[in-house]
Each structure stands twice: as C-alpha cells, then as structure tokens.
Structure 1
Amino acid sequence: MKNYLKIIEINEYSKTPKYLQIFDSILNAIKTSEIDVNDVLPSINYLSESLEVGRNTIERAYLGLKKFGVVDSVPGKGYFVSNAEFEQPFKILLLFNKLSDHKKIIYDAFTAKLGHDVSIDFYVYNNNFSQFRKILENKPDRYNKVVIIPHFFNEHDKAYALINSLPKEKLVLVDKLIPEISGDFCTVYEDFENDISYALEELKVRLSNYHTIKIIFPSKSYYSTKILTGFTDFCLKYAFNYEVLSDLKSETFVPGTAYINLREDHLVELVEKIVNNELKIGSEIGVISYNETPIKKLILSGITTISTNFAMMGEAAANMVLDNLKGHLAIPFKVTARNSL
C-alpha cells in the first residue's frame, strides 16, 4: 500500500489553501508515477484525521481532482485514479517579503491578471533569509515561474546568491532591481533614487514653505539606500536643510519642517506627536508618506503621498509571466498632493 502521508505535502507556512496543496501533491504524484491509474485514494475520514485538517478540505481537493479529469469515484467505495494523461497546470511559486496594504494591491492585481488557469503557491518569508531559503529548498523544479519580492533584513549576500542560482528563465523579480543578480531574467521594479528625486521636484513649490526636510529612514531595514541618495541630491540641489532620522524617539518638532516617512507605524507616531505638540499639519509641519493606500485620502483631510503604481506593478509582472517575457521594466512613481503639505 502506498504511503500517502509521505506523498501529500502540507506546508503550514504556505499561504496557499490546504485543499490546493493536497490537490497539487496528488497531481504531481500521478505525473511522476508515484500514484498509478486505478490506485484507490485514501478515504476522506482517514486523510482528515491523519493530516489534521477538516473533512471538507479533503473533499474539496478530491472534487477538484475529479473535475480536472484524473480522479473518479464509485458510491460506497471512494475515489480512485482514472487518468494519468493530462497537462499539468501552469504553476507559480510566489514569495513576498511581508504582508501590507500595498503588497495586497500587488497581489490582487497580479492574481487577477493571471486568471483562474494558473496555480499559485504563495509564501511570506518575513524579510528573513533563513525562512526564504527553507521555502525555496527543492521547490523551483516544480514550478514554471518563481516570482519574488526580494527584501531582506539580514544576510543579503547569501540571499542574492541564492536568487542568482535560480534558473533565469523562471525568475521574475518584483519591486526591486538587484545589481548582484545577473543573466537574462525578468524584473518589474521601482527606481528608488530617481523616483524620490522626481517626486520631490514635483512637490518643490509646496516644499518651499518649509526650511528643513527630514526623512525617517529606519536602521536595519530592507529599504533601499538609494532613496537616501535621491533625497539628499534634491535637498542639496535646492539648498534645503535636511536630516535623516532612524526614529522619532528624541525628535523635537519645530515649525517649518517637513517630514517624509516610509513605514506605516511611523506615520501614526508622527501624526500623533505633531498633534500632541499642537502644531498644524499642512502649514507649520509638512507630512509626506511613502506608498499610497486608501486610508491616506481620509487621514487629516488627506496625507500627501509619493508612491509606485502598485496595481500596475502587479499587472506588469503577470503579463511578463503569461507572455514569458524577459527584461527590466521600471514602474513610474506617482505624486498625490493633499492637505498635509
């Protein structure tokens, strides 16, 4: 009797629904002849108890296999493999560094553009190289494309070397262009240095109401230091006083200062401290926030944002996957001026 508990893989770290993981495991085992035509699949009750998942999860996977045309069922006897001749679905391994509002925009646009005929295994590695390596281990061969948002808190050199070892015809990088990655591969990215410089140029008239610009750039973060290059180039070009802050713990708020924040939690802290200091946002203190999200239209009658078009980024990445394109595509930055500046 075949050991289905070794054949069927469920990864608790994967964001892919468990029924799809079971579906994919059985389909892959049929393709590799680990499971043969006429083999009887384990009962729904047995797999439910053994894998510690709900009966409806197993039933959903089996019904999916039946609809796909590789499994049939006999009342009272259960499910069995009826066909081993099939074209396996186009499969994508999708790795995000974290979950956030703008990452959700990328994900939604990416998956909507791909449609329903593509199978996606989705993981979040929390900016951690060890998790990233574990997820990638022995997996790329199973996928048509490996799509990665490559931001890491630690061990950048090891992470880039691992990415560089992937088959370039399968590799799609999203959000960041990494010089260390060589070869003919696909990337849809932000041009961090030029993006912020062009954005601040567009806001130059509003910024002229302030004498100092400060950017909150967290230490030991995954943010590109090219953001700082573009920021300082702009400030030097137009003779603004400027400062780079790692946090707001010891910040003294002085009228005539504009702040650029990158992280959402820093935006909350920044607004709270300005209000507590009884300073007026939009006149005495300016606020610019990275990454447009719907809530920023409403906070304090509107927060000025500088942001990549994340929906365009997700769609462009999907187009490159669907059309098997290669090359590097920079996604344009967008400035949304509101009352906070």
Structure 2
Amino acid sequence: MKNFLKILKIDESSLTPYYRQLCNAILQGIDEKLISEHDILPSINDLSIALDISRNIVTKTYNTLKKSGVVSSVPGKGYFISNVKLDKPVKVLLLFNKLSTHKKIIYDAFAEALGDKASIDFYIYNSSFNYFKKILLEKQDKYDKVVIIPHFIDKIDNACDVINQIPKEKLILMSKLVKGVEGDFGAVYEDFANDIFDALEQLLPSIRRYHSCTIIFPKNSYFPTDILIGFLNFCKQYNCEYDIVSDLRSESMCKDTLYISLTEDDLVELINLLLEQGLKMQEDIGIVSYNETPLKKFILNGITTISTDFEFMGRIAASIVLNNSRDHIKIPFHTIIRESL
C-alpha cells in the first residue's frame, strides 16, 4: 500500500479546517501524480491514529471527496481513489490580520463562493509584519492566488516592498489598498476616509442633537488613519466640536456627546460607563459603532452602526480569484440607524 503519511499532513499553524487540509492534500497529491486512480486510502481508524485527529475528521474528508467524485467506497473494503481526471482547483493562500466576527463573515462568504473550485489555506498573522513576511516567503510559491487583508501595527512602510514581490497575476488585496504596491492586480477595497465621512453625513440630523463628537481611536492599532481623516473632515465641514481619545479608561464620559467606537472592546467599555454613571442613551449620549455584527441590533435596544458590507467583500474577492480579474472594486458602506443615536 502507498505510504499516504508522506502526502497527508496537518499544518497546525493554519486555520484551515483539518478535513479541508486533508482534502486539499489528496487533490494536490493527485495533481502531482503522487496519488493514482484506484489507490486504496488508509482506513478511517488508521489515518486518525497516524495523524492524531478524530475519526470524524477523516470521515468528513472522505465524504467530502465522495461528493465531488474523487473518492468511492466499497462496504467492508474501505475507500479508494475513483477519479483523477478533475478540473484543477485554484490553490489560494488566504492571509487575514486577525480573527473577529466580521472577518468570519468575510471568510464564510469567500469560501462559499469558491466552493469546490478552489482550495484555501488560511493563516492569521496577528497584524504582525514580521510574521506576515515569514508566511509569504515560506509559502507563496505554492499557490495560484495570494489573497491578503493588509493591516499591520508595525513596519507599515515596509509592507509594499514585501507585497510587490508577489507576482501581480497572483495578488488580490482585500479591505485595503497598500500605498506603493504597483502593477496590475485584483482588489476589493474600502475607501476609509470617504466612507466614514459619507456615513456621518447621513447621520447629520441626529448628530446635531449633540454638543460634540468623540472618536475612540486606539493607539498602536491596525486601523487606517484614513478613518481619522474622514472624521476630521466631517467635523470641520459641519462645524462640529470634536475630540479624539485613545483609551476610555482615562476619560470620563461627557453628556451631550456622540461617541464613535471602532473596536468591540471600546463599545463594551462605553456601555459599562454609561450604566455606571446612570446616563441615558439618546438623552445624555449617543453611540455609533464601526462595523456591523449580529448582536448590535439587540444591545440596549440597538446600536447604530456604520459598516462595510463584509459578505460582499468575501463574494467579490472569490469572483476575482475565479475570473483571474485585475479589477479594483470598492466595497459598499452602510449606515444602520438604531436606538443608540
């Protein structure tokens, strides 16, 4: 029997589900002619023991490949490769800076839109430029497409040098265009400065009820400073008093103020201070939260959000992958008004 343990491996640093890693490894083995038609696959029990994973993972792997026609089974005899004449799936290296609720929305939409037409290896680089660079240098040559959400908390000016080393026919940027990245590549991007300006402009009648606007912009964060530029442009154009704070813990909440929170942690802290000080939403302060998540429509009868369409981002990025597109597509930005304003 062929030694499948030289072909089937689990990368614990990847966030790609184990069953999907095994599916991808089998498909790659077929593509590289390491696996042939009629080859007998290891039993579910043997492979689960050899790779130290659950039997359910191996079962899901084989059943997924059965649905796509790659694997067949014979009761009492096990699983074998039944078809090697397949459309070659696009191999995608997907790099996100962090995990969050809205990043999961992006990933789910991206993976669903690609379906079986692509295999995804998914890594999180924790907004660290050095780790981002390490992953790219080690892995990019193995993939047909490299899809990146490029948000960093360090060495931001070096990002373009590393990204420019990726062949442009492979490169797709999601969420943000990186200054200095040259050539003809695909992108689905946010226009941060204009997005927040336009969203606040839509909220202007409600914002006028407050004496001033305060945006909470954390230090050493991955958030683009273009968000601040858009906020400041809005406040100056409409003569709004404003403030920029980095940490709510060193601030006392002021009545007649609209607070704009970028992070979930700061939103929680805002609500905590609101309750501690006995302030009333709308009457004393207003809250606008950046990026829609499902829970925000329930918190305190609803938190007003200004948000990128994350599902659109994932679906359009998948379309760019499958169509070998070099288009640059702007992501829609939505305003959802609720009881917090």
Unmatched 5+ stretches in structure 1 = none
Change in Cα spacing, 1:9 to 1:276, as seen in structure 2 (3 Å) is same
Q: Where does 1:175-324 land on structure 2 (aligned, <5 Å)?
A: 175-324=175-324
Q: Secondary structure of 1:15's partner?
A: coil
Deviations 1:192-247 (A, max 9, x none): 11111111112122111222211000000000001111111111222222111011
Deviations 1:11-61 (A, max 9, x none): 112222222222322332332234456766555444332321223433443
Match of 1:174 in 2: 174
Change in Cα spacing, 1:282 to 1:138, as seen in structure 2 (3 Å) is same
Percent of aligned pairs sharing the same letter: 54
Please give the alpha-carbon distance, in whole angstroms, between the structure 1 residues aligned to 2:62 and 2:133: 31
Change in Cα spacing, 1:32 to 1:215, as seen in structure 2 (3 Å) is same
Tell me whether 239-248 or 79-88 shows the greater mean CA deviation: 79-88
Match of 2:9 in 1: 9
Please give the alpha-carbon distance, in whole angstroms, between the structure 2 residues aligned to 1:111 and 1:70: 20
Change in Cα spacing, 1:37 to 1:109, as seen in structure 2 (3 Å) is closer
Please give the alpha-carbon distance, in whole angstroms, between the structure 2 residues aligned to 1:313 and 1:327: 13
Unmatched 5+ stretches in structure 2 = none
Deviations 1:58-90 (A, max 9, x none): 344345556656666677776666665543223
Letter in 2 for 1:230: G
Please give the alpha-carbon distance, in whole angstroms, between the structure 1 residues aligned to 2:9 and 2:137: 14
Please give the alpha-carbon distance, in whole angstroms, between the structure 2 residues aligned to 1:258 and 1:85: 60
Match of 1:151 in 2: 151
How far off its partner does 1:263 sit?
0.2
Change in Cα spacing, 1:116 to 1:40, as seen in structure 2 (3 Å) is closer
Deviations 1:258-277 (A, max 9, x none): 11110011001001102211
Q: Secondary structure of 1:305's partner?
A: strand
Please give the alpha-carbon distance, in whole angstroms, between the structure 1 residues aligned to 2:263 and 2:161: 28
Tell me whether 37-46 or 19-28 shows the greater mean CA deviation: 37-46
Change in Cα spacing, 1:22 to 1:285, as seen in structure 2 (3 Å) is same
Query: What is the TM-score when the length of structure 2 is the normalising length?
Result: 0.88
Match of 1:106 in 2: 106
Q: Secondary structure of 2:249's partner?
A: coil
Letter in 2 for 1:330: K
Change in Cα spacing, 1:44 to 1:297, as seen in structure 2 (3 Å) is closer
Q: Secondary structure of 2:9's partner?
A: coil
Match of 2:160 in 1: 160
Change in Cα spacing, 1:75 to 1:300, as seen in structure 2 (3 Å) is closer
Q: Where does 1:23-102 land on structure 2 (aligned, <5 Å)?
A: 23-35=23-35, 41-62=41-62, 64-65=64-65, 85-102=85-102
Residue correspondences, number: 341
